[in-house]
Structure 1
Amino acid sequence: MATVASTIHPTADAKLLRFALKQDAMGSGANGVVYLVVAAIFGELFGLPAALLYPIGVFLVAWAAALFLLASRPTVNRAAVGVVMAVNIAWVVASVELLIAGWFPLTGLGTALVIAQAAAVAGFTGLQFAGLRKAG
């Protein structure tokens, strides 16, 4: 009977996976810090309430720390990467829903921001999936 490894050992080729996790962390962390520092200005500029951007900023900073931790471990936990990809997919779906449902009076810049972030997160997820496959 074949078994599936639940972790990816350092000897496995996990460079792409670690790269994807770190890129996701840097993008998430940078967005989170910006949201926390200039939520009121961004809210007005993009048509998003600052009251929404503050908790999202906190989440993104914590998320970035978790991603960096996951990427830096001697062994990468496949289940944890699966959770990362699921959260990323949920972010993309929520972004599309935000655009379709019209929850907020987004400006043109706000619409562009939501689309760009969804595309970036989808790209990170694709890289993470490819990294998982390559790592075996």
Structure 2
Amino acid sequence: MMSTPNASTVRPADTARSDRLLRFALLADVVLTGANGLGYLALATVLDPFLGVDRSVLYPVGVFLTGYALWLLTVSRRETIGRGAVTVVIALNTAWAVAGVVAVAVDAPTATAAGNVWIVFQALVVGAMAVLQYAGLRRL
């Protein structure tokens, strides 16, 4: 007797196909966030005068971003990606993107022109990551 698959049956191949975009978006976020965090930690003394953002801000941001990238890596490497964890990632990325634009708009970091461009660029990239991750989550 042959059984027919129903809505609750998902073959492993189907799962792999449906989460490919989400895994890509999370891993891209890992790479970009990790590189950014490590860059802030390693180059804070060089970036301070160029961006106009003090080292006392760059170091903690670098530590946060590096830790966040490691957490993203664990989320992305799970056999089954948790919807709750991805929702947190999307919320954090959205908050980071909005905070970056608002900070430049109100001149909170008193950054240089290059620093303001970098902050807005970073906000746009992080916002794009959130959109990709949301699209990937919707495919699950």
**Fold match by TM threshold 0.5:** yes
Q: Is the 8 A contact 1:10 1:75 kept in 2?
A: no
Question: Is 2:87 the partner of 1:82?
Answer: yes
User: Which of the numbers 96, 103, 114 marks the counterpart of 2:101?
Assistant: 96
Paired position in structure 2 for 1:48? 53
The structure-2 alpha-carbon separation of the partners of 1:10 and 1:39, relative to structure 1 and needing over 3 Å to count, comes to: farther
Unaligned runs of 5+ in 1: none
Give a deviation string over 1:77-129, Cα, whole Å, max 9, x none. Answer: 00100000000011011101211121122111101100110010011001001
Matches within 5 A, 1:1-136: 11-12=14-15, 13-135=18-140
- Rounded Cα–Cα distance in structure 2 between residues aligned with 1:69 and 1:120: 21
Q: Is the 8 A contact 1:18 1:71 kept in 2?
A: yes
- Rounded Cα–Cα distance in structure 2 between residues aligned with 1:124 and 1:108: 24
- Rounded Cα–Cα distance in structure 2 between residues aligned with 1:131 and 1:66: 18
State the Cα RMSD in Å.
1.5
Q: Which gives a bigger RCO, structure 1 or 2 (Cα 8 Å, sep 6+)?
A: 1
Moved segments of 4+, more than 3 Å: none
Seq. identity, %: 38
Give a deviation string over 1:37-65, Cα, whole Å, max 9, x none. Answer: 11121011011011000000001111111
Unaligned runs of 5+ in 2: 1-7
- Which of the pair has more CA radius of gyration? 2
